[in-house]
Structure 1
Amino acid sequence: MSQTLSAKICGVKSPADVVAAAQAGARYVGFVFFAKSPRCLMVKEAAALAAEVPLGVAKVALTVNATDDELDQITSVVPLDMLQLHGKESPERVAEVKARYGLPVMKAIGIADAEDLTQIDLYSDAADQLLIDAKPPKNADLPGGNGLAFDWRLLAGRKYWQTPWMLAGGLTPENVAEAIRMTGARQVDVSSGVESAPGVKDADKIRAFLAATEVRDA
């Protein structure tokens, strides 16, 4: 018996990216609003892309320490299903954003060692979902999308979390099945792992990634 997990293709930049993600079976697509990222979109670009996303695929806006003014602009123009906070937002800020915009909020948490797992409990009550990602290196320009993985053994046996969570960080078509087996993840997120160059999605890699998330039970 096989089980297909939910996958998010983050950093889509073109209608072709959206089509490839949707046709391959992605449940989420991510629009990046962070100027330093090679995947960054202007608000009007994201609005046009959002119109291409079929029903059943959730549209997620990734922001980093965004102000209310910035979020106001994004949410007023782009039809979204979820906000992803990928900066140093506190649990209180997560709750504020959720209340202000009436959208589900996913909070990214960077993991490098076991001590970082304590952040999960801090955000579980405030966020609707958690993105468990690799902690970026010191002085890194990007908070995510760096193609780095963390030690997946840190998550082994931790299926008791009540808040839905998504595994991210260094996932590729070649390693995502192993990551799922080691962590018990039911959702996965990929960006650089399905690109041919920074910010350039590869349709074949997207299809391969989604195919690899189909895990067959023993």
Structure 2
Amino acid sequence: MTARVKICGLTRPEDVTAAVAAGADAIGLVFYGPSPRAVTIERASALAQVVPAFVSLVGLFVNPSAAEVRRVLEAIPLDLLQFHGDESQEFCQQFGRRWIKAVRVREQGQIAQAFRDYHQAAGLLVDAWDPDRYGGTGEAFNWSLIPADRPLPLILAGGLSSDNVASAVTLVRPWAVDVSGGVERGKGIKDARKMSDFINEVHRVCKTD
């Protein structure tokens, strides 16, 4: 088993370079103004220029208008869209781009329902529930709520760090893991050593599985 790694919420070119050097499979850029990790189109363009071939560039949106998404797509070569709000499948599907849907988990059966509601997605991201925040909480959730039957690739997020990601991969067996705050030294400021340690832990447990 191999779990892919996405580093999300990058704001500086040097952090993108460090994430790629550490072995990240995907880089996430946040296009959601209230987030401390949000980037403008101008900043995102500069970050995109240092993402090499075969590393996916993901754009994260929270309840955007269709015009907002299209404006970003016109300027930034995103490989994948990530919708982290209350978007419908019909909304997510309209941009002619692969997309994943994030679900904030708080109760049994919620993930199974999301697999049905968003069956056209390229993957389902499961994150911790917070009534006031759409992701980036730094909190884990009860992984036992994740069903064994997964008709789509499952991406695990929420409170991950190098201290617990090996256990997470072993127990959940996700398609990928997504980390932001767990590899930072400040909001939106990544730590090269933490990113390297995180990815090394994922690779270590996958090799021994």
TM-score range, shorter chain: over 0.9
d(CA) in 2 for partners of 1:50, 1:161: 32
User: SS at the partner of 2:109?
Assistant: helix
Query: Which of 36, 41, 44 lines up with 2:42 in the alignment?
Result: 44
d(CA) in 1 for partners of 2:117, 2:41: 28
d(CA) in 2 for partners of 1:4, 1:23: 18
d(CA) in 2 for partners of 1:71, 1:152: 31
d(CA) in 2 for partners of 1:60, 1:211: 22
Amino acid at match of 1:151: N
Q: Which residue of 2 aligns with 1:113?
A: 107
User: SS at the partner of 2:163?
Assistant: coil
Residue pairs, 1:19-58, within 5 angstroms: 19-58=17-56
Q: Which residue of 2 aligns with 1:144?
A: 135
Query: Retained in 2: the 8 A contact 1:124–1:163?
Result: no
Query: Which of 188, 199, 217 lines up with 2:188 in the alignment?
Result: 199
Q: Deviations over 1:149-185 (max 9, x none)?
A: 10112226x1x31211211011011000111111111
Query: Can you give the 5+ residue segments of structure 1 that lack an aligned partner in the other structure?
Result: none
Q: Which deviates more from structure 2 when the two are superposed, residues 160-169 or residues 41-50?
A: 160-169
Q: Which runs of 4+ in 1 moved over 6 A?
A: none
Deviation at 1:129, TM superposition (A): 1.3
User: SS at the partner of 1:204?
Assistant: helix
Q: Which residue of 1 aligns with 2:146?
A: 155
Q: Deviations over 1:50-89 (max 9, x none)?
A: 0110111000000001111101110000111011001001
Deviation at 1:211, TM superposition (A): 0.5
Per the normalisation by structure 2, the TM-score is 0.94
Deviation at 1:4, TM superposition (A): 4.2
d(CA) in 2 for partners of 1:201, 1:123: 34
Q: Deviations over 1:94-114 (max 9, x none)?
A: 223xxxx22101110111221
Deviation at 1:186, TM superposition (A): 2.5
Q: Which deviates more from structure 2 when the two are superposed, residues 117-126 or residues 46-55?
A: 117-126
Query: Can you give the 5+ residue segments of structure 2 that lack an aligned partner in the other structure?
Result: none
Q: Which residue of 1 aligns with 2:7?
A: 9
Query: Retained in 1: the 8 A contact 2:12–2:189?
Result: no
Deviation at 1:120, TM superposition (A): 2.5
Q: Which residue of 1 aligns with 2:97?
A: 103
Q: Which residue of 1 aligns with 2:155?
A: 166
Q: Deviations over 1:2-56 (max 9, x none)?
A: x542100000111111111101111100000111111000011101110110111
> How many corresponding residue pairs?
207
Query: Retained in 2: the 8 A contact 1:26–1:210?
Result: yes
Aligned-residue sequence identity (percent) comes to: 39
